[in-house]
C-alpha cells in the first residue's frame, strides 16, 4: 500500500547528497522543506515536494499532517533491550553513594542481570523485550541495535540472541544484533578471565556464527572489565566470521578501547565519557564512528563525553540510548538529544543528525535509514505543529508524536 502525507508543516532531515554520515561543521546543517507532501511506495520513500505541487492522481491512503512536522525515525545504534527484570535495588545503592564499579565488584551489576536471565524462559524474555520495543517505537525509533551480554554462558548468550532474532522477525521496526559475550566474566569463570576470553573466542563465537545469530561483535573494553589485548583477540576472531566490531570503550577510564577499535576498523566505539585529546586524534581519518550515550552519564552521574571537542575536530558523532537495566533504563532517543544539547552543548541540528543518519552509519545502515531520501526505507514520524526544530530537545517531555510510519506502514 502506498501512503501520501500532505499538509506537512516542515519535513526535517532531507538528504539528497547520498553521504553515509555527516561530520564536523556539516553536522550543524539539516535540510528542511516547508509546506510539503511525502509519498511512499511499498516500504520505501518515493518522492516529496512542496504542497503547490501536490500529486493529484495517486491512489493511496492519505494522512493529513495538519501542519505537523515530519522527522526521520531515530536510529538507536546501541541498546541492551533483552534483559530480565530490573535493577532498582542498585539504583537505591547508588543513591546511598556506591559507584557503578563498586556495585559490580560486589557481584551486582551485569552479573546480577545474568543470574536473573538464566532463570527466565525464552518466551518470558521475548515478552519483556517486546514491551520495551513497543515503548521505543512509540517514542520514534525505527532502527535499533540490540546486544546480548546478560547471558555469559554459551546457552544463555544463544538464548538472548534467539530472542533478538524473534524480535527481528516479528517487530515492525528494523533490528540489528550484536554478540557481547565479553560484557563481564561469567560466574563459572570467576578469577579465570583469560580462559573466559578463550571460551568466547573458541566456543561462543563459532556457535553464534553457526546459527547466523549476530551482525556484530562487541567487547566491554574498560577498567575492571576487558583489556585492549583481550578486545583485539575477540575482534579478530569475530572478523573471521564476518562480524564487524562495535566496542564499549572509555566509559570508566581511558581504557585503550578507542585505539584498539580504530586499529581494527571497528564500526563504532561507544560511551567515550573518558576521552583525552589523543583519543580524539586517533579517531581522525578512521572509519570508526564515535558514539555517545548521554543517558548513561545522566543516570550514573558521571562526566559527559566531550562532544564539542569531537565535532570541532571534524568527527562524525552518533548518539544512542544504551537502553539497559544498569546504566540507562530508558530508550527515549528524543531525551538523548535533549541531554546532548543541554549537557554536551550540541545544537539541535547536530543532535538530530547524530541520532539519525550518523547512528544509522554506526550500524552500517545509512544507505537505507537515517534521513528523508528518495529510495530509503519509509521510516518517519509526524508531530503536532511545533514552532521550530529546537522545540524538540527543548520541550523534551511534551508528547508531540501523532503518527508513526515504519517501512511504509502506519503503526
Residues that bind ligand NIG (CB under 6 A): 109-110, 113, 220, 248, 251, 296, 322, 324-327
The total of other beta-carbon atoms located within 10 Å of residue 337's CB is 25
Would you tell me which residues interact with Fe ion (CB under 5 A)?
322
Q: In whole angstroms, how close is the CB of 270 to Fe ion at the nearest point?
A: 7
Closer to ligand NIG by Cβ: residue 147 or 376: 147
Closer to Fe ion by Cβ: residue 322 or 365: 322
Closer to ligand NIG by Cβ: residue 181 or 408: 181
Q: In whole angstroms, how close is the CB of 110 to ligand NIG at the nearest point?
A: 5
d(CA 207, CA 213): 9
Q: In whole angstroms, how close is the CB of 79 to Fe ion at the nearest point?
A: 8
Closer to ligand NIG by Cβ: residue 40 or 141: 141
Residue carrying C-alpha cell 493511496: 60
Closer to ligand NIG by Cβ: residue 40 or 128: 128
Say which entry of Fe ion, ligand NIG, none residue 110 contacts (CB below 5 to 8 A, set by partner kind).
ligand NIG
Say which entry of Fe ion, ligand NIG, none residue 296 contacts (CB below 5 to 8 A, set by partner kind).
ligand NIG
Say which entry of Fe ion, ligand NIG, none residue 383 contacts (CB below 5 to 8 A, set by partner kind).
none
Q: In whole angstroms, how close is the CB of 245 to Fe ion at the nearest point?
A: 14
User: Which residues on neighbouring strands pair with residue 75, listed in sequence order?
Assistant: 143
Say which entry of ligand NIG, Fe ion, none residue 186 contacts (CB below 5 to 8 A, set by partner kind).
none
d(CA 164, CA 172): 13
Max CA separation in the chain (angstroms): 70
Closer to ligand NIG by Cβ: residue 152 or 307: 152
Closer to ligand NIG by Cβ: residue 237 or 248: 248
Residue among 267, 358, 265, 264 at smallest CA distance from 310: 358
Say which entry of Fe ion, ligand NIG, none residue 326 contacts (CB below 5 to 8 A, set by partner kind).
ligand NIG
Residue 54's SS3 state is coil
Q: In whole angstroms, how close is the CB of 348 to ligand NIG at the nearest point?
A: 25
Element housing 5 (H / E): strand 3-14
Element housing 132 (H / E): helix 122-138
Task: Give the DSSP per-residue string, 267-304.
Answer: SEEEE-SS--HHHHHHHTTSSPEEEE-HHHHHHHT-PP
Q: In whole angstroms, how close is the CB of 25 to ligand NIG at the nearest point?
A: 29
Q: In whole angstroms, how close is the CB of 64 to ligand NIG at the nearest point?
A: 41
Q: In whole angstroms, how close is the CB of 379 to ligand NIG at the nearest point?
A: 25
Decide if 234 contacts 197 (C-beta within 8 A). yes
User: Which residues on neighbouring strands pair with residue 37, listed in sequence order?
Assistant: 49
Alpha-carbon torsion (181, 183, 187, 191), positive or negative: positive
**Cβ-closest residue to Fe ion?**
322
User: Which residues on neighbouring strands pair with residue 324, listed in sequence order?
Assistant: 328
For 188, residues 6+ apart whose C-beta sits below 8 A from its C-beta are: 153
Say which entry of Fe ion, ligand NIG, none residue 350 contacts (CB below 5 to 8 A, set by partner kind).
none
Beta strands in 169-301 (DSSP E): 174-182, 216-221, 244-249, 268-271, 289-292
Closer to Fe ion by Cβ: residue 15 or 230: 230
Q: In whole angstroms, how close is the CB of 66 to Fe ion at the nearest point?
A: 39
Closer to ligand NIG by Cβ: residue 78 or 264: 78
CB burial class (10 A; 0-12, 13-18, 19+) of residue 388? exposed
Name the percent of the chain in helix, strand, coil, to the closest 5: 40, 25, 40
Say which entry of Fe ion, ligand NIG, none residue 325 contacts (CB below 5 to 8 A, set by partner kind).
ligand NIG
**Cβ-closest residue to ligand NIG?**
326
Say which entry of ligand NIG, Fe ion, none residue 327 contacts (CB below 5 to 8 A, set by partner kind).
ligand NIG
Element housing 40 (H / E): strand 31-41
Q: In whole angstroms, how close is the CB of 368 to ligand NIG at the nearest point?
A: 26
Closer to Fe ion by Cβ: residue 294 or 408: 294
Decide if 91 contacts 100 (C-beta within 8 A). no
Say which entry of ligand NIG, Fe ion, none residue 220 contacts (CB below 5 to 8 A, set by partner kind).
ligand NIG
Say which entry of ligand NIG, Fe ion, none residue 125 contacts (CB below 5 to 8 A, set by partner kind).
none
> Crossing angle, helix 122-138 and helix 154-170, to 10 degrees?
50
Amino acid at each position: 500500500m502506498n501512503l501520501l502525507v500532505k499538509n506537512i508543516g516542515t519535513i526535517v532531515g532531507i538528504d539528497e547528497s547520498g553521504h553515509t554520515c555527516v561530520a564536523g561543521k556539516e553536522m550543524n546543517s539539516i535540510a528542511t522543506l516547508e509546506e510539503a507532501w511525502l509519498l511512499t511506495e511499498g516500504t520505501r520513500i518515493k518522492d516529496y515536494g512542496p504542497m503547490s505541487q501536490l500529486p493529484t492522481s495517486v491512489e493511496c491512503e492519505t494522512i493529513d499532517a495538519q501542519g505537523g512536522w515530519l522527522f526521520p525515525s531515530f536510529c538507536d545504534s546501541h541498546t541492551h533491550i533483552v534483559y530480565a527484570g530490573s535493577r532498582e535495588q542498585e539504583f537505591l545503592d547508588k543513591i546511598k553513594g556506591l559507584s557503578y564499579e563498586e556495585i559490580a565488584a560486589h557481584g551486582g551489576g551485569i552479573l546480577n542481570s545474568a543470574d536473573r536471565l538464566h532463570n527466565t524462559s525464552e518466551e518470558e524474555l521475548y515478552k519483556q523485550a517486546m514491551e520495551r520495543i513497543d515503548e521505543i517505537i512509540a517514542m520514534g525509533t525505527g532502527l535499533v541495535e540490540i546486544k546480548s551480554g546478560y547471558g555469559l554462558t554459551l546457552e544463555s548468550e544463544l538464548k538472548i540472541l534467539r530472542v533478538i532474532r524473534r524480535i527481528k522477525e516479528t517487530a515492525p521496526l528494523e533490528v540489528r544484533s550484536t554478540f557481547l559475550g565479553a560484557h563481564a566474566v561469567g560466574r563459572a569463570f570467576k578469577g579465570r578471565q583469560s580462559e573466559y576470553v578463550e571460551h568466547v573466542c573458541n566456543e561462543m563465537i563459532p556457535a553464534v556464527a553457526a546459527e547466523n545469530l549476530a551482525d556484530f561483535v562487541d567487547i566491554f573494553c574498560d577498567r575492571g572489565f576487558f583489556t585492549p589485548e583481550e578486545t583485539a583477540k575477540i575482534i579478530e576472531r569475530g572478523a573471521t566470521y564476518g562480524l564487524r566490531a562495535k566496542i564499549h570503550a572509555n566509559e570508566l577510564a581511558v581504557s585503550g578501547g578507542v585505539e584498539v577499535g580504530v586499529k581494527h576498523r571497528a564500526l563504532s566505539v561507544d560511551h567515550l565519557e573518558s576521552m583525552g585529546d589523543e583519543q580524539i586524534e586517533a579517531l581522525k581519518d578512521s572509519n570508526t564512528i564515535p558514539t555517545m550515550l548521554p543517558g548513561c552519564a545522566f543516570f550514573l552521574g558521571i562526566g559527559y563525553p566531550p562532544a564539542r571537542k569531537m565535532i570541532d575536530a571534524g568527527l562524525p558523532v552518533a548518539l544512542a540510548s544504551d537502553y539497559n537495566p544498569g546504566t540507562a533504563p530508558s530508550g527515549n532517543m528524543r531525551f538523548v538529544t535533549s541531554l546532548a544539547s543541554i549537557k554536551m552543548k550540541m545544537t539541535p541540528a547536530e543532535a538530530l543528525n547524530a541520532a539519525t543518519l550518523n547512528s544509522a552509519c554506526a550500524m552500517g545502515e545509512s544507505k537505507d535509514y537515517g534521513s528523508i531520501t528518495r529510495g530509503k526505507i519509509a521510516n518517519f514520524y509526524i508531530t503536532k505543529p511545533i514552532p521550530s526544530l529546537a522545540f524538540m530537545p527543548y520541550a523534551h517531555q511534551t508528547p508531540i508524536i501523532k503518527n508513526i510510519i515504519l517501512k511504509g506502514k502506519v503503526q
